[in-house]
Amino acid sequence: MEKEIKKDLISKRSQVNSNIDFLTTNFIKAAGNIYDPLTNPQGYINFGVSENKVCEDLWLKKIAEIAGSSDFSSVDILYYFALHGTQQLRRTLSKLIGEHFKSKERIDEEKIVCMGGVSAILNALAFTLADPGDVFLCPTPVYTRIKNDMLELGGVDIYEVPMFDITSPEDPFKMRIDLLESYLQKARNDGLNVRGVVLVNPNNPTGKVYNPHELQQLMTFCKREELHVIADEIYALTTQCQGGFTSVLSLSIPDPQRTHFVWGLSKDFGLSGFRCGVVYSHDIRIIARLKQIATFQPIPAPTQKLINGILSDTEWIDKVYFPAYYERAKAMYKLVKEVLDELNIPTPYSCRNAMFFWMDLSQFLKDLSREEENKLFNRFMEAGLYIIPGMEMLSQIPGWFRLTFTLPEHEIQEGLRRFRAVLTQKGNKATTS
């Protein structure tokens, strides 16, 4: 009776997936004991969370400049506003997205909806485009929280399509339409209603950047099968090979009503704390519903003022921020790549990596199993180093890990010292060259 009473305290819906997931658990663990060279030298180096921290000094200066402007003495930050995004911000976003994503058509500000982060956007899209129990095909490995974002409140799951093929070293995560077709049929045979495909481009965790042909193939396939496309392009502007990224917005979209562009400030601009997610869609019914849901996940008015002040200063973005970011990111990339090369660690897509390396550490496992992967993860954690194991990114192949490199140099250096120490300690297979 005691257990029944406790169970009834929450709804049946809340009892599903109520456990805190791996990524959240370990983020909290690392964040609660973060490394500081002076005050906490034994704390965690966080190579796990994909945050862009290399331009902290520029952002603090820019934010202080904007926060001190006359905009923040305006009374309109005190009261209710258009909760799906102020017109001023949506107008600024339409210009930025149109220019930086090379949109083929003009971005209509009335078709933009802003919410408190891309997680909120994905949840809203799941709620709007599908019913509880429906699924979206999703090439894996992928950032696992996408599953949580769509399932925990929206009740919509992802249907994993394992697309990482290590026997194809030149492009191991290439778009496989035949595989999507196979898993679409498999899902339908399982009695599931497939509503669409979720694509993260550039991919997290592999760093794969899809080319125009691959994207066109995907959209054509989805139109034929009457499936939605959710194009999550949150890492679009972080790619080091500039000009190598293609947005779906820059292409001829076969089915605009079912194609939805998602972006945010967390990665490209290193402003994950601002909680700004953006969705651009064409169907007026979908936009109307997303606006309603935005009531529950609005970006506060003062934050929108800050965001608008940043994004409207295109000269600062193009001539100060992005040049500094790319230069610093490449420097940190080089530091990490040198150590990975020293340890003979394979890293596909390394020339176009977004903010992280997808690296093969299988040589440091006694056998290719989830258990051995977890053992290596635990050795990293014992050394004060948080790196995400691939199986927690829905990888089907044990031994792969994701390492974020867009951190301040002193953290990178200390993290690499710990990384090398774990992998070269007695009992591991690796030997340094």
DSSP letters along 103-139, please? -SSPPPGGGEEEESSHHHHHHHHHHHH--TT-EEEEE
Terminal Cα distance for the chain, rounded: 64
d(CA 209, CA 317): 23
Together in a domain, 326 and 297 = no
Together in a domain, 290 and 320 = no
Kindly indicate the confidence band of residue 127, based on its pLDDT and cuts at 50, 70 and 90. Answer: very high
Q: Does residue 429 belong to any structural domain of this protein?
A: no
Say what the pLDDT of residue 21 is.
81
Together in a domain, 291 and 170 = yes
Together in a domain, 50 and 190 = no
- pLDDT at residue 15 is higher than 60: yes
pLDDT, tens digit, for every residue of 196-233? 999 999 999 999 999 999 999 999 999 999 999 999 99
Say what the pLDDT of residue 5 is.
46
Half-sphere exposure of 173 (CA within 13 A, CB side): 25
Together in a domain, 287 and 391 = no
Together in a domain, 94 and 189 = yes
Half-sphere exposure of 364 (CA within 13 A, CB side): 31
Please compute the mean of the pLDDT values over residues 9-30 and round it to a whole number. 73
Kindly indicate the confidence band of residue 311, based on its pLDDT and cuts at 50, 70 and 90. Answer: very high
Q: The domain containing residue 358 runs over which residues?
A: 2-58+316-423
pLDDT, tens digit, for every residue of 391-403? 999 999 999 999 9
Q: Provide the CATH number for the domain around residue 47.
A: 3.90.1150.10
Q: Does residue 129 belong to any structural domain of this protein?
A: yes
Look at 263 and 167; give whichever has higher pLDDT: 263
Tell me how many domains the chain contains: 2
Look at 19 and 139; give whichever has higher pLDDT: 139
- pLDDT at residue 306 is higher than 90: yes
Say what the pLDDT of residue 380 is.
97
Last residue of a domain, one of 313, 332, 360: 313
Together in a domain, 343 and 297 = no
Strand 400-404 with 388-389, pairing: antiparallel
Look at 65 and 422; give whichever has higher pLDDT: 422
Please answer whether residues 373 and 399 qualify as being in contact, where contact means their C-beta atoms are separated by less than 8 angstroms: yes
Together in a domain, 300 and 359 = no
Q: Does residue 412 belong to any structural domain of this protein?
A: yes
- What is the pTM (predicted TM-score) of this model? 0.91
Together in a domain, 244 and 368 = no
Last residue of a domain, one of 264, 288, 313: 313
Say what the pLDDT of residue 432 is.
40
Per the prediction, the chain carries an average pLDDT of 90
Can you give 366-387 as a three-state secondary structure string? CCCCHHHHHHHHHHHHHCCEEC
Together in a domain, 161 and 263 = yes
Q: Does residue 70 belong to any structural domain of this protein?
A: no
Say what the pLDDT of residue 164 is.
94
Together in a domain, 14 and 32 = yes
Say what the pLDDT of residue 401 is.
97
Please compute the mean of the pLDDT values over residues 63-84 and round it to a whole number. 80
Look at 340 and 4; give whichever has higher pLDDT: 340
Say what the pLDDT of residue 220 is.
98
Last residue of a domain, one of 255, 290, 313: 313
Say what the pLDDT of residue 185 is.
98
Together in a domain, 322 and 309 = no
Q: Does residue 428 belong to any structural domain of this protein?
A: no
- Amino acid identity, position 283: D
